[in-house]
Amino acid sequence: MSTLKRKRGGKGSAEKKAKKAKFVENGNEQESKKEITVPAPVSAGKWKNKERVLIFSSRGINFRTRHLMQDLRTMMPHTKADTKMDRKDKLFVINEVCEIKNCNKCIFFEAKKKQDLYMWISNCPHGPSAKFLVQNIHTLAELKMTGNCLKGSRPLLSFDPQFDKEPHYALLKELFTQTFSTPQYHPKSQPFVDHVFTFSIADKRIWFRNYQIIEEDASLVEIGPRFVLNLIKIFQGSFGGPTLFENPDFVSPNMHRSEIRLATAAKLREKSMVKELQKVKRTEAKEVLVKDVTDMVFATPADENPMQIEMEPPIELKKKKHKLFQKRRSQQTN
């Protein structure tokens, strides 16, 4: 009887027998298969691709980041969680944490100044790592994202063709693929493929979206979460090592904020300078022009202009607000 309950795997649903998996929706999730102990053949295949991702964060994150992390863990069943890391510790400590947890990939969120969120993706023991600035976070809980998917179902990954053009993008593509795709026959995974992750490049940033596949004709609804990644650097080692790539278009959020402040300050300074100059001009002794007698030689009286009577009131032009600085992607607010 107990075996009747537990079917969760490719075959169980394919053969439409009475032995179908029925789970109560309160989340009576039971692990049906561990590769070592096989009480009954539950899953159609063996879990070979041992990919485990560790998702955790530093201290000082806000609620949105916390929810984003939770959402990523929901979406990806091959992830593990860990406690918050103290910022005093150096980053290479993370490698050790990963080793302890037996994970070979890591996603680490770092919050600075309670405003900026940075994300590290790394291949843990020796591999490359990348640091991003995360912006425009929307979590699963937003009511505008109406889609839903099975918890732990395997995703399709969709990449922009631009990812194949540059070597750093190609490396990132490989890293994303290995991190975000759920291994086949993972014990916590569901056999269906019902959602798709999209990675696109726009405005020199990487945009992440998650859609649910409703129909076979590719009608989609967004599930969430969604965020934008701005690449900062790619390192050869995990959380350290020589820099392989530095993004020339990246402006650190601090720089960005200071640029805005400087711009407004410069504007004000210019205004005050102009005012001063005008004052000086007014108080200056004005030059008295000597009248030249020969000036009037060629003067001819001008024709009288016909008197113009305006029948319509003058048009008032709308004053345009000139923004000195086009504000970039909205920063994560506290």
Partner 1 sequence: MIKDINSIMEAVEEDAQLGHHSEEDDSDISDIEQEDAQLGEESEEDDSEMSDGALQEAFAMGLLKPGINVRTLAPKKTVNNTEGLKQSLANISKTLPWVERLDLTNQPAEDIFATPETKQTAKTSEAIDSNNDFQREMFFYRQAQATVLEAMPRLKKLNIFTKRPDDYFAEMAKSDQQMQKIRKKLIAKQAIMEKSEKAKKLREQRKYGKKVQVEVIQKRQKEKKAMMTAVKKYQKGMTDKLDFLDGDQKATKGLEQKNAKGANPNQKKAMNKKGPNAKRRSKDDRFGFGGKKSGKKWNTKESHNDVSGFRAKLAHGKGGKAGKGGKGGKFNNKRPGKSVRKKMKGRS
Beta-strand relationship, 79-81 and 116-123: unpaired
Question: CB of 175: closest distance to partner 1 in angstroms?
Answer: 7
Q: Considering only residues 1, 27, 286, 288, which one is a binding residue for partner 1 as defined by CB under 8 A?
A: 27
Name the residue nearer to partner 1 (CB basis): 215 or 303. Answer: 215
Question: CB of 264: closest distance to partner 1 in angstroms?
Answer: 13
Question: CB of 13: closest distance to partner 1 in angstroms?
Answer: 6
Cα distances (angstroms) measured from residue 229 to each of 13, 98, 134, 277, 285 = 37, 23, 5, 47, 61
What is the rounded CA–CA span in Å between residue 231 and residue 203?
A: 12
| H or E element that contains 173 | helix 167-180
Question: CB of 79: closest distance to partner 1 in angstroms?
Answer: 13
Q: Is residue 229 at the binding interface for partner 1, with CB under 8 A as the rule?
A: no
Q: Which two tokens stand for residue 257?
A: 């904020």
Name the residue nearer to partner 1 (CB basis): 71 or 111. Answer: 71
Interacting span for partner 1 (CB under 8 A) from 87-95, 238-246, 286-294, 298-306: 238-246
Q: Considering only residues 10, 240, 260, 331, which one is a binding residue for partner 1 as defined by CB under 8 A?
A: 10
Q: Is residue 201 at the binding interface for partner 1, with CB under 8 A as the rule?
A: yes
What is the rounded CA–CA span in Å between residue 161 and residue 171?
A: 14
Interacting span for partner 1 (CB under 8 A) from 35-43, 59-67, 176-184, 309-317: 176-184
Interacting span for partner 1 (CB under 8 A) from 93-101, 111-119, 191-199, 293-301: 191-199
Question: CB of 83: closest distance to partner 1 in angstroms?
Answer: 24
Rg of the chain over Cα atoms, rounded to whole angstroms, equals 32
Q: Considering only residues 1, 143, 299, 311, which one is a binding residue for partner 1 as defined by CB under 8 A?
A: 143
> Which residues 270-299 are close enough to bind partner 1 by CB under 8 A?
273, 277
Q: Closest by alpha carbon to 51, among 137, 127, 139, 142?
A: 127
> Which residues 153-172 are close enough to bind partner 1 by CB under 8 A?
154-164, 167-168, 170-171
DSSP 297: G
> Is residue 225 reached through a cis peptide bond, with omega within 30 degrees of 0 on the bond before it?
yes
User: Cα angle at 193 between 187 and 195, to 5 degrees?
Assistant: 115
Beta-strand relationship, 129-138 and 226-237: antiparallel
Question: CB of 3: closest distance to partner 1 in angstroms?
Answer: 17
